[in-house]
Structure formats: structure tokens, C-alpha cells
Structure 1
Amino acid sequence: MVPVHYIESGAGTPLVLLHAFPVDARMWNPLRGRLEEQVRIIAPDQRGLGESSLDGSTARGMLDPKTAPLTADRPSVDVAAADILELLDQLELPRVVLGGCSMGGYVATAVLRAAPQRVAGLLMVDTKAPADTDEQRANRLGVATRAEQEGTSGWLADTMLPNLLGESTRRQRPEVVEELRALIEAQPADGVAWAQRAMAARPDSVETLRAFSGPSMVVVGAEDTITPPSAAREMAEVLPRGELVEMAGSGHLPSLEVPDALADAVLPWLASLDV
């Protein structure tokens, strides 16, 4: 059984795209349409979000007793990474280009930690390598508790939207604001809580990235206040073959905010890779 729901389209270089928090694989749809003539895109809904259940089955509500205790007791990006590796096995993909935005970058790094031989290239979008500070960890755990107690309707989107989107997008593209709001509102409270606890527990990954000798592209929105350009520069410097690209007019989610510019940056880089 496939461990997570995923969206697949296109043909060519296999590119696995891991989404940000608190959305799902649909955040990549604007980019997908610009890449799929040359790239095989595989975008999973990470465990507990989108159409992927928290218990490790693709259909929500189906209990898998072998995996449910693990997910309930130990939220971890390593569990999410194991889902991705199992998906690659079932798709018979020995090596892929692996991309992740924000939380997706944390999971991508966990995949790299577990199975670096599976990663032919690394695309890190508006994410970071260090672990959370104590304050950041406490904030995540607070969100997780509130999601479980109150659900996520209204407050989660209201809290996160101003930080996820750049000032230019919020001012000029109200349709993107509403699209993102709908994506956030669609996420189950239990998956939101699990993901926050998994991110809060993640280790520092600087040395994992330093050890990766493959080609890497680091993308950052110029208006990102969550993982700003300074954090992206540090990541690109750590990666032995890191290339930094800054997206003007974008905040934390360039695949929604500036998909044309992101595609223009990613396509030539992908074409240069040997997968």
C-alpha cells in the first residue's frame, strides 16, 4: 500500500516536491503546469495533511495498527522521510531530484540523512538547516495543543497568512491570498498538530547538508520573513555545490507567489543534472 497520497504528472527527470506547513501538495500546482512538459513531478501530501492519513494509509480513517502507535507517540520528520522513501520504492525510482519548501525542506533533509544515495539533486526552497530555538519550539507545541483543543478553523490561517506570503503578494494578488487561505483551512487538526510536533523535534541538519556532494539549488523569496535570504545564503554556503537564487516579489511560498520566475530558475538547473 502506498504510504501517502500523491499527485503525479509530466515526464522526464523525476522531481519529488515536498510541501510546506500547513498546506498540502496542491501548493505546487502553479509550478507543475510550468514544468511538466520536461519534468516528471511527484508531489506527496505529507502524513496527516491533504489526503494522506495520519496512520500511514492513503485513505483517511483506515487504521493501520502497525504504524498508528509510532505516529501517535513519536511525531518525527524521520517518519515522514520514511514515507517518502517507501513511496520511491513503490514507484521504482532509485534516484530522484528532491525538493522541499519550508517543512518540506526539513523532510527532504531527513531523507538525505537516511538515504543520501537516493538523492541526485537537492532543491531547497525557503527553508533552513538549524534546529528550532527554544522559543520556536515552544510556539510550535502551543499551536499543536491549540489545534487539538479547538480545531484550526479561522485562527490558523489568520495567524500564518501574513508571514507566509510576501508583502507584494498580499498587496497585489488577493486571489493568491484566498487560495492559500483555502489550503490552510482544508488541513485536518490532527495532522497540523502532528506536523508541528515533528518539526519541533527535528535535529540540526547543517552537517547533513555539508556532507551532500550532489548539485543543490537554494531558492528564497526576497520578502520571506520566516526563513529570510540571510538564512538561505548560509545554507548555500554550507552545501558544497550550492547555488543560491533569490525570488523578487515573493515571500515564503514562491511556487504560489512567483511560479513563472521559479520555473525559469529550476528548469535549466534540472536539465543540467544526471539522473
Structure 2
Amino acid sequence: MNALQLEELPLAQAGDPASRVALVLHGGGGPRTVAPIVAHLGTTMHAVAPTHPGWEGTALPDSIASVSDLAAAYLADLAERGDRGVVLVGSSIGGWIALEMAQQATRVPRFEGVVGAVVVIDGVGVVVDGEPIADFFALDARGLAELAWHDPDRGYTDPATLTDQQRAMQASNGRTMARIAGAGMSDPALLGRLGALEAPTLVIWGASDRIATPAYGRALADVIPGARFAEIPAAGHLPHLENPDATWAALDPFLAGI
């Protein structure tokens, strides 16, 4: 029995449960950052967005100490549920989880057929020479907004306006992210494994992202067989929040063709 089950996690859902499943994987900012993706995909698919273990006050099992562990746990649950052809849509660290799931699915026989397609939105996780990921853990709120948003004023939240509970939750989420993603938010070996990916893949990137630059995103797409790359103008690390229309214009034709 898989130790991690989607039904036991806080779960946002949209769409017809009888439709094809889209597993939407959030990044460090938590589940609210992918809510527009869930709503959009729910018009044509069954979009399911779990809160990752350790985020938003949920328990983090001892068995999950890395992105690889979390990816394997999600894959095992999907396989046990009998889901096939699942579309993985991951934002930031969620993109890393999606890539790890996709490459594990090519190596583990019991996961064969579980992953049908991959959409990475400004994902981290790989190491690209000359394009380092910003040191997220060294950034204050203003610094994060400056790097992550095309319009930093829109993305900035003054910490003084947060409640003690909100600050505690942010700190807890950060500790979880550090535990499973590491200080560098990358796996040096991952890029070399992505050449084995078999699922159709779309890499979407905000043109103004300075957490991980568009050049980083293009390098990621270049190693995945047949992957498409779409750059979203007037958007940073979360293009589905800053420029949703352009994001859907890149996403929808890809999904229609798989």
C-alpha cells in the first residue's frame, strides 16, 4: 500500500471526474499559486491539485526527504488508483516534481503508461552551466518580488501586513522546501536523465523570470526529446498569474494535440 494517497492530502479539484486527469503540482508558494491553472484545466479535464506534504501545516512523512521521494510517492498513488495518461502540470518546484515523475515512469515497469504528458512552467531542478538558479533562501520579500515578477509591485507583500500565523506558515513551508529541494533547488544529475523522457512535453517560461531565466528554460527544453518551448511576455516566474491569456494560448493547443 502506498504511504501517500491523494485523498488524504488537502486537494483542490475542478472538472468532470470521468475526464482525463491533470495533476497540478504547486511550487514553494503553495497551492494558491496554481489555483488559476486548476480552474482553467477544469473546463476540459479533471484537474487535481494536492497540497504537497509539509506545506500549509500538513505532515511531512519521514519517507519523503527529496523531490525524488515525493515524485515516486505520487506515481505510486496514481498507479494504485489505475490512472493512465495523466497530464502532469508543474509550476516552479512542481515542475521539478513533474520531470522527476516523468523520468521515473520511463524506468519503473509498474509506472508504465501512468504519465501521458508533461507541462513545466518555470520549473527548477536542473543545473544549467552559466544559468544559476537564484538563491531563493537568501532573498527577502522585496528581493523575491524583484526576481520573480515582471511587475514587482504586484508580487510584493509587506511582511509587516502578515499575521503571526501567516509568518509561521511561511517559515514552515520554507523549511519543507529546503528539506526536499535542498539549498540549490536542483539535482545535478537530473538534466542528464531527461533525454530518456517519452511523454510529450511543453516548457512554458516567463520572459521576465530572474529566479531561473528563459535561457535556463530553453536549455531544459533542449534536452527533452521533442519538447516545445513557449516564452510568455510580460510575466515572471508565475506566468499563469501575471499573463494568463498568453499562458493559456501556449498551453491549450499543446493539450489539444496529445
Match of 2:231 in 1: 246
Among the aligned pairs, what percent are the same residue? Answer: 26
Offset at 1:106?
Answer: 1.5
| 2: CA distance, partners of 1:243 / 1:20 | 21
| 2: CA distance, partners of 1:139 / 1:228 | 13
Instruction: Decide which moves more: 236-245 or 82-91.
Output: 82-91
| 2: CA distance, partners of 1:26 / 1:53 | 18
Whether contact under 8 Å (1:48, 1:188) holds in the other structure is: no
Letter in 2 for 1:269: F
Equivalent position SS for 1:7: strand
Offset at 1:53?
Answer: 2.3
| 1: CA distance, partners of 2:197 / 2:34 | 25
Match of 1:18 in 2: 25
- Check 1:271–1:137 CA distance in 2 against 1; reply closer, same or farther (3 A cut): closer
Letter in 2 for 1:229: P
Equivalent position SS for 2:36: helix
Match of 1:124 in 2: 120
| Higher relative contact order, structure no. (Cα contacts within 8 Å, ≥ 6 residues apart) | 1
Whether contact under 8 Å (1:4, 1:45) holds in the other structure is: yes
CA RMSD, 1 decimal: 3.1
Offset at 1:3?
Answer: 5.0
1:36-77 CA distance string (max 9 Å, x none): 21122111111211363223xxxxxxxxxxxx3x34xxx211
- Check 1:256–1:196 CA distance in 2 against 1; reply closer, same or farther (3 A cut): same
Alignment counterpart, residue 141 of structure 2, candidates 149, 152, 157: 157
Match of 1:231 in 2: 216
Offset at 1:207?
Answer: 2.4
- Check 1:91–1:254 CA distance in 2 against 1; reply closer, same or farther (3 A cut): farther
Offset at 1:132?
Answer: 8.5
Equivalent position SS for 2:47: strand
Letter in 2 for 1:164: A
Offset at 1:249?
Answer: 0.3
Structure 1 position 107 matched with structure 2 position 97:
yes
Letter in 2 for 1:77: V
Structure 1 position 196 matched with structure 2 position 192:
no
Whether contact under 8 Å (1:97, 1:119) holds in the other structure is: yes
Structure 1 position 53 matched with structure 2 position 38:
no
Alignment counterpart, residue 170 of structure 1, candidates 134, 152, 172: 152
- Check 1:29–1:81 CA distance in 2 against 1; reply closer, same or farther (3 A cut): same
TM alignment of 1:33-112, pairs within 5 A = 33-50=39-56, 52-55=58-61, 68=62, 70-71=63-64, 75-89=65-79, 91-112=81-102
- Check 1:82–1:129 CA distance in 2 against 1; reply closer, same or farther (3 A cut): closer
Letter in 2 for 1:8: Q
The number of residues matched between the two structures is: 236
Offset at 1:81?
Answer: 1.1
Letter in 2 for 1:7: A
- Check 1:20–1:88 CA distance in 2 against 1; reply closer, same or farther (3 A cut): same
Structure 1 position 27 matched with structure 2 position 28:
no
TM alignment of 1:202-217, pairs within 5 A = 202-217=187-202
TM-score, reference length from structure 1: 0.74
Letter in 2 for 1:238: V
Letter in 2 for 1:237: D
Bigger proportion of residues as helix: 1
Where in structure 1 are there 5+ consecutive unaligned residues?
56-67, 147-154
| 2: CA distance, partners of 1:6 / 1:241 | 32
Equivalent position SS for 1:233: helix
| 2: CA distance, partners of 1:119 / 1:80 | 15
